[in-house]
Chain A
């Protein structure tokens, strides 16, 4: 189990971490979610001792992390990095050896991963000759080649096409199912919604909400209802409900969690024949918006405006 407690870090006047805490358990996939600049990467780098923390503790299985323990971790940093001129197979073998595998074990693991990734015929090619998607797969294999107990993946699905997202997502999921502790960061909540068992929402350098995805959604004060009336008529929302979206497919309503479903159904049925009716737990994006008070896109836009304003002030 990975336990981070009260991590704090400042860079000059900028507070990167303001008391972040989280717990990640073996066999489960933890989504560490928040906008860019929320402190996700700094937190993940802290696990590997790549940041000098101002305060806080990082523990693995109840103990501070030493060099031997760290070798049992796998890391995929946000800014991808491998040797561009080095052959793919040689590179994975090297990283496996650095994590404590014997040369033969590292070679075997490399061959296995390259086969699983469909890249066995590219083992001797320099990394730079691979497509972006394949380079991303190799980067993930670099984090996995030694069979880590803890896998830290910083925005692993960034820049991938839907097929790549599906493949890498499946590989990451398999690691958790095999018993590894997996922490995955993302600012694209919709991409990781189907992957995570547990979630920590982080914003402004602080963790705002933590728990299993199921619990978090269940605890949310709202539910969403998807309804389609015959003829595509838009239903009038009952009291306490609001329309989220209306499309040709139907209408999405937001209602309080305590709303009686039968009463709601009866009310809608009075407006026309119901073709579809579905109760939905709120998406992660909605959980985030409710928790932090703004969507990720809004927070990133605001941060961008601030940054632009700062730039203009500096220029002035």
Chain B
């Protein structure tokens, strides 16, 4: 019988076993809902821009109402106006909360308690300035329609990197954060499943029966491939949910860099999963019981979580810094760093290529080493430490 057939049989059993496991489906559902919420909630909640009712004294501010309506959306607020004919009415309306503020001669902005939100203050200040400018231009003979046309021109300034490429901005940042989170969870959840499965097989002694006919690397490979397929499927479901939600609410336009980052993320998911899952399998094989596995996995979990935290704390705020570059080249951290930097469009091609090569090579070494350590510890009675596992001779 060819090794591929043996590995296929092991993989098939693992897949069946895991697909019947409610935890897998529960975790996938929770992750999908989380991503959908992350994509949709800002948009849905963002539609409720704060609105203000502002009272204007009749005659003194003829065109100010129009200016406030124009400027408000620039600051994510909606301003409507009510014209009153004397100051006494203003005081009454403020005290009865019919209006949020009143703009009186001077001009001055009056509120009931003397405080005002920064966006309304900015809006009113800009509207007053704009109206003063229009009044000045009109005095110089510029027709009001011409002046308004000039002011309405798009004056936004694009943000680009030193090569002139547009920056990712908020969309890139959100994408980077989402990718890091999804990669961490997909890699960690499935690697921990490899760990618990291995520890279970050892503690209930079924491994003695299996290795009576299989070689240890058959068992390890079948297990890793099965859980890897599940990790990919899990991420595909989560990504489909996120992209579908985005298509429905139109939260963000995924730029080209977003698609590139997704491709890097898929590659890093495969490589990162293989790296961590193989080592988690060793941690499982070192444990004398399933409970003990929670302590043997400690160092690995620490490295994984530290990598993710560093991405959040250092790489996302400064994706081109020295720490980000170093983390892009190290196999334990590159699976989380490379996709995040790609999403932020802060990953030069040479660093991407070098990072991928280093991570793939590191993963090959880790998987080979893990295979040897697994074969040395899975049949040993009781538990073993990492140093012991490293020095032990594989059985066959």
Contacts and interface: CB of A to CB of B under 8 A. Distances in A.
Interface of A: 45, 48-52, 67-68, 70-71, 73, 75, 77, 79-86, 90, 94-95, 97-100, 142
A85 B22 CA distance: 13
A98 B214 CA distance: 8
Contacts of A52: 393, 395-396
A50 B208 contact: yes
A82 B201 CA distance: 8
A50 B214 CA distance: 11
Interface in B247-264: none
Given A49-B395, A81-B208, 16 more contacts: A48-B212, A50-B208, A68-B1, A71-B1, A73-B213, A77-B205, A77-B208, A77-B209, A81-B204, A82-B206, A83-B206, A90-B16, A95-B209, A98-B6, A98-B10, A142-B209
A136 B43 CA distance: 60
A98 B6 CA distance: 6
Contacts of B17: 83, 85-86
B13 interface: yes
B207 A81 contact: yes
B232 to A, nearest CB: 24
A94 B9 contact: yes
Contacts of A90: 16
B210 A79 contact: no
Contacts of B211: 48, 50
A104 to B, nearest CB: 14
Complex A-B, nearest 6 residue pairs according to Cβ-Cβ distance, in ascending order = A81-B205, A81-B206, A75-B212, A77-B208, A79-B205, A48-B212
Interface in B345-396: 379, 393, 395-396
Given A51-B395, A98-B214, A79 B9 contact: no
12 contacts: A50-B208, A50-B211, A50-B212, A51-B379, A70-B212, A77-B209, A81-B206, A82-B204, A82-B209, A83-B17, A84-B204, A98-B214
B289 to A, nearest CB: 13
Consensus secondary structure, chain A interface: loop
A35 to B, nearest CB: 19
A52 B207 CA distance: 16
A89 to B, nearest CB: 13
Contacts of B215: 67
B9 A75 contact: no
Interface in B1-54: 1, 6, 9-10, 13, 16-17
B395 A50 contact: yes
Interface in B178-216: 204-215
A21 B25 CA distance: 53
A45 B379 CA distance: 10
Contacts of A45: 208
Contacts of A80: 205
Contacts of A98: 6, 9-10, 210, 213-214
A193 to B, nearest CB: 27
A142 B208 CA distance: 12
Given A49-B395, A51-B395, A82-B206, A97 B212 contact: no
A94 B8 CA distance: 11
A49 B396 contact: yes
A99 B1 CA distance: 9
A70 B204 contact: no
Contacts of A85: 17
B213 A71 contact: yes
Given A49-B396, A52-B395, A81-B205, A94 B13 contact: yes
A14 B396 CA distance: 22
Contacts of A83: 17, 204, 206
Nearest to B9: A97
A192 B206 CA distance: 25
Contacts of A95: 209
Contacts of A99: 213
